[in-house]
Chain A
Amino acid sequence: MSEYSKDYTIGEMMTVLMAREVKDTDIMIVGVATPCVWAAFTLAKLTHAPNAIYHYIMGNTFVFEPRQVSLLYLEMNTARAYRFQNTGECTLESLPSDKLTTIEFFRPAQIDQYGNTNNICIGDWNKPKIRLPGCAGIADFSMFYSRGSFLYTPRHDTRTFVPIEKLYFISGVGFPNGKPSICGGVGPQCIITNLAYLDFDEKSKRMKVASIHPGINIETVKNSTGFDLIIPDNIKETKPPTAKEIKLLREKVDPLGIRKLEILSGKEREELLDEIIEKELEMENRFPKLLHYN
């Protein structure tokens, strides 16, 4: 194990924590417009999980080799898939399968203490204050995974972490009424945020603090959560990224910083987006760079 990095952003911390969830035997679902997840999976491939397989939702294609994260050329990453004939059937066959898909990260707009999530609307569904883009496959997949579902959000605040009555629409199933779903999945495993690593109490299935990130105060975590978290007597500190993880992430996995589009907001994000577009349009070879282990 190399030394812990002293120079990392909170977004990099989250990406590294997500990568650490991946097992060498995993089939990793990469959605659309989730570069943080993609970067995390690619980092896992380059470190402890070289045999994990990408399952790109961009075609339900299966890809073995890792390539750099890309904004414009996602299809060129999936083009070298050994299966590229996705149809509606491929979506359906993936659902209850332990062989075609094993790990997926969902990013909820809202989440309650039992890990139920909302990506549909803020306010009443019939006349929403904000209509969100939708839940895509979360309503289908969240209750199925035998290895559980994995959650992340870079916005740990009381707008995201809400009491049950303020969760406007359940579009992803956590532990309804404190019990695992009747559909057979084991339920959400963790929520990786910009402040902490949260998981669920084995008995009550309520959300609990597993560790807080270095430099973060437990009071901040409490005040940023709209319900009572279970807080253990001895609060652990999250293991920060290693120097090697940070170097791989910055230099090999995602040198353009596309993952940061999920973390930044406002003007800073707009500027980064323009910079990424400009650099990618300049690329002559539009196959994102093939990456090799070490």
Chain B
Amino acid sequence: MSLEEAISTYVQNGDLIGIGGLSFWRKPASACREIIRQEKKDLSICTFVGGIEVDMLIGAGCISEVRASFVGMEVFGMAPHYRKAVETGKVNISEESEASLALGLKCSYLKVPFMPLKGIIGTDFPKVRKDIKQFEDPLGSGTQLMALPKIDLDVAILHVPYADEFGNGNIAGAVWLDDDMAKTAKKTIIICEKMVETEDIRYLPGKAQLPMQTTDAVVKIPFGAHPTSCYPIYTFDPLHIKEYLKTDFEEYRKNYILNKTNAQYLEEAGGAQMILNILL
């Protein structure tokens, strides 16, 4: 399946989309560029830690809500479009911590409405999250707990180094919330760097953290996480991130996103020299 087909088939306006990876690391950036090309609207984005991919989607006007424990550009500074959109009220925030996201997805596969956490208590989260609640252990220990609600994703979009044609996906480095997203989302799209045989997956450490029965589409886009990383193949591209931060978004969209194939995108982003820069 092509990326264009995968996004047009499985991503609908208004969906709650889970984005894999963390910060500048293993983000499905090519899929985000395709979402921008298809002018999807009103998406809610759920990701562990958001970076340039969330910022781009906001810049393009695709997002109405963000659920992330952090959205920023690491040592490069703040995420400019995210910041502006929140400050002007154009994007809503569901304030999240790491545990509220991890537990929300866990609720989804356990099919329970909430999970208890012995944390967040004492913070101002309950003031801005009307859907979380402190309660006392119903079994009588007297412990105060925080109830955190279920997160049911419509779609999970995950970038991995290796997958087979059936949708078995292997992640070489950190998995983060990707496996929980894959097994709970109504639809899961995997974008891979390399298409391998099922036999190869058996011998990769971790095997198929994303098993084929939870995958609806698998698409091969080499360097598709650029400008973020995909361990063990390449790291993030600091020069492109700097370029993004100093370019007006409309110009960026024209130069790097609209009407660009993956090959054209990579050429615009620096071609062979860029690839040599980021290869690990």
How far, in angstroms, from A152 to B100 measured CA to CA in the complex? 25
Which single member of A75, A96, A127, A137 contacts B69 (CB below 8 Å)? A137
A75-86 interface code vs B (CB 8 A; 1 in, 0 out)? 110110000111
Chain B residues closer than 8 Å to A132, beta-carbon distance: 78
A130 touches B83 (CB 8 A): yes
Determine if A239 is an interface residue (Cβ-Cβ < 8 Å). no
Determine if B277 is an interface residue (Cβ-Cβ < 8 Å). yes
Chain A residues closer than 8 Å to B179, beta-carbon distance: 87-88
Which single member of B68, B144, B176, B235 contacts A88 (CB below 8 Å)? B176
Given contacts A87-B175, A88-B106, contact A134 B235 (CB under 8 A): no
Most chain-B Cβ atoms within 10 A of its Cβ — which of A33, A35, A61? Answer: A33
Which single member of B99, B127, B236 contacts A72 (CB below 8 Å)? B236
Q: Which residue of A lies closest to B72 (CB)?
A: A133
Determine if B199 is an interface residue (Cβ-Cβ < 8 Å). no
Determine if A141 is an interface residue (Cβ-Cβ < 8 Å). yes
Which single member of B87, B95, B119, B238 contacts A277 (CB below 8 Å)? B238
Chain B residues closer than 8 Å to A60, beta-carbon distance: 174
A144 touches B119 (CB 8 A): yes
Shortest Cβ distance from residue B133 to the other chain A in the assembled complex, whole angstroms: 15
Q: Which residue of A lies closest to B104 (CB)?
A: A88
Sorting the interface of chain B by its residue count into under 10, 10 to 19, 20 to 34 or 35 or more gives: 35 or more
Chain B residues closer than 8 Å to A229, beta-carbon distance: none
Shortest Cβ distance from residue B219 to the other chain A in the assembled complex, whole angstroms: 23
Given contacts A84-B174, A96-B118, contact A136 B70 (CB under 8 A): yes
Given contacts A134-B70, A173-B123, contact A277 B173 (CB under 8 A): no
B99 touches A134 (CB 8 A): no
Q: Which residue of A lies closest to B97 (CB)?
A: A139
Determine if A71 is an interface residue (Cβ-Cβ < 8 Å). yes
B87 touches A130 (CB 8 A): yes
Chain B residues closer than 8 Å to A137, beta-carbon distance: 69, 97-99
Q: Which A244-294 residues have a C-beta within 8 angstroms of B?
A: 261, 273, 277, 281, 286
Chain B residues closer than 8 Å to A128, beta-carbon distance: 86-87
Chain B residues closer than 8 Å to A127, beta-carbon distance: 87, 89
A120 touches B122 (CB 8 A): no
Shortest Cβ distance from residue A48 to the other chain B in the assembled complex, whole angstroms: 28
Given contacts A134-B68, A139-B119, contact A72 B128 (CB under 8 A): no
Shortest Cβ distance from residue A153 to the other chain B in the assembled complex, whole angstroms: 16
Most chain-B Cβ atoms within 10 A of its Cβ — which of A35, A135, A173? Answer: A135
Q: Which residue of A lies closest to B26 (CB)?
A: A75
What 3 A-B pairs have minimum CB-CB distances, sorted nearest first? A59-B174, A133-B72, A88-B102
Interface of B toward A, CB cutoff 8 Å: 22-23, 25, 49, 68-72, 74-76, 78-79, 82-83, 86-87, 89, 95-103, 105-106, 117-125, 127-128, 144, 173-177, 179-180, 205-206, 209, 229, 231-232, 235-236, 238-239, 242, 277, 280
